[in-house]
Amino acid sequence: MIIVMRADVEPQDVDSVKSKIQELGLEVYESKGINYHIIGLIGDTSHVDDESFKTMRGVEKVIHVQEPFKRASRVFHPENSVINVNGTSIGGEKLAVIAGPCSVESKAQITEIAVEVKKAGAGFLRGGAFKPRTSPYSFQGLKEEGLEYLKYAKEITQLPIVVELMSADKLELFEEHVDVIQIGARNMQNFDLLRAVGQTRKPVLLKRGLSATIEEFLTAAEYILAGGNENVILCERGIRTFETYTRNTLDISAVPVIKKLSHLPVIVDPSHASGIWWMVEPLAMAAIAVGADGLMIEVHNDPKNALCDGNQSITPENFRHLMDRIKDLAKIQNRKI
Ligand code: PEP
Ligand code: MN
């Protein structure tokens, strides 16, 4: 439930509304812009009497929010959220391009790729150190050593690093060394992990679960926001469908749907969505065309011998090509790259 206050509302009238909400045992969520002043009620509002608010001074109207997500909802927060990562932003005019290998394999590998993607115009470096692999016998990542190599690559390129966190016991380590904490598709509904990253103030990149609906995706984001961490970036990375040609099916319509329902930035990962390297560029173009705030692209200097996700990794040369094409599209969309 939200209460829309009049444009000329007096501060004491706002305070009265807030006190009334607190007396009902509910939490207050306040959102103010140039043309709006909204007070949200968070908690079980099923027994709240609308009339008692409608008659209060300064109240314009009372709106019921059906969705289970509140803080993630655009109704609660009409303006787009822009997430600040070490002085650069995600969700603003500039498109965020996160590029790098699926996994860190060696210091030389991650450094070489980092230098290449930086030259091509990427704004962030990705690299998995702790990998969620389907088989326990597959390469599981270099773990802490991988994190060290990522830090070195960051030092060389100044690119902020995006790394997947698999369990809360590594949170402190990530808070110290990582710029954006990635929560992978397989952990999208790991509620303890979501609560844990909700306690930090580090930006969190939340990937859509393999078979999660958009509502479940936004409600997972709500867990992080409910902990007080407002720095959430969403990532559409394809969902399971009956189609087997591609690894997943990129749900391109999720981008405009999420933009309508939520104020959080949305980026697209065409690499995991397709699983096929030559589809990465056309899907990346589609993502920017429908209004995504950025991309996550797997880039490898030797895809054939990659320890993880080689089939969907593009070479630095193909990444340069993709970036050139995205630049033209960005102009049409009034975005920068
Ligand atoms: C990844 O980004 O390396 C990854 C494992 O992605 P997802 O969680 O989307 O499968
Ligand atoms: Mn991968």
Parse the chain into domains and list their residue ranges: 2-63, 83-332
CA 72 to chain centre: 12
Candidates 3.20.20.70, 3.40.50.300, 3.30.70.260, 3.30.9.60; correct CATH number of 83-332?
A: 3.20.20.70
Exposure string over 75-90, b if 16+ CB within 10 A, otherwise e: bbbeeebebebeeebb
259: three-class secondary structure by DSSP: helix
Whether the predicted pLDDT of 34 surpasses 90:
no
Across residues 298-302, what is the average pLDDT? 98
- pLDDT at res. 35: 86
Calpha distance 323→132 (Å, rounded): 28
| Residue with CA closest to ligand 1 atom 9 | 185
- pLDDT at res. 73: 97
Calpha distance 237→246 (Å, rounded): 12
| Residue with CA closest to ligand 1 atom 6 | 184
Phi-psi region of 58 (alpha: psi -120 to 50; beta: other; left: phi over 0): left
- pLDDT at res. 138: 95
Q: Which atom of ligand 1 is nearest to the CA of 238?
A: 9
- 83-332 and 2-63 share a CATH fold: no
Across residues 249-254, what is the average pLDDT? 98
Whether the predicted pLDDT of 325 surpasses 90:
yes
Check if 272 has its Cβ closer than 6 Å to any atom of ligand 1: yes
Calpha distance 37→10 (Å, rounded): 11
Check if 238 has its Cβ closer than 6 Å to any atom of ligand 1: no
Please give the distance, rounded to the nearest whole angstrom, from the Cα atom of residue 56 to the centre of ligand 1. Answer: 49
Across residues 133-159, what is the average pLDDT? 97
Please give the distance, rounded to the nearest whole angstrom, from the Cα atom of residue 322 to the centre of ligand 1. Answer: 20
Ligand in nearest proximity to the CA of 208: 1
Check if 207 has its Cβ closer than 6 Å to any atom of ligand 1: yes
- pLDDT at res. 136: 95
Please give the distance, rounded to the nearest whole angstrom, from the Cα atom of residue 42 to the centre of ligand 1. Answer: 32
Across residues 185-189, what is the average pLDDT? 98
Calpha distance 149→128 (Å, rounded): 11
- pLDDT at res. 66: 87
Calpha distance 164→178 (Å, rounded): 9
**Whole-number average pLDDT of the chain:** 97
- pLDDT at res. 162: 98
Q: What CATH number was assigned to the domain covering residues 2-63?
A: 3.30.70.1140
CA 217 to chain centre: 11
Number of separate helices (H) and strands (E) present in the chain:
11, 14
Instruction: Give pTM, 2 decimals.
Output: 0.96
CB 90 within 8 Å of CB 265: yes
Whether the predicted pLDDT of 258 surpasses 90:
yes
210 band by pLDDT with thresholds 50, 70 and 90: very high
| Residue with CA closest to ligand 1 atom 4 | 184
Calpha distance 39→22 (Å, rounded): 12
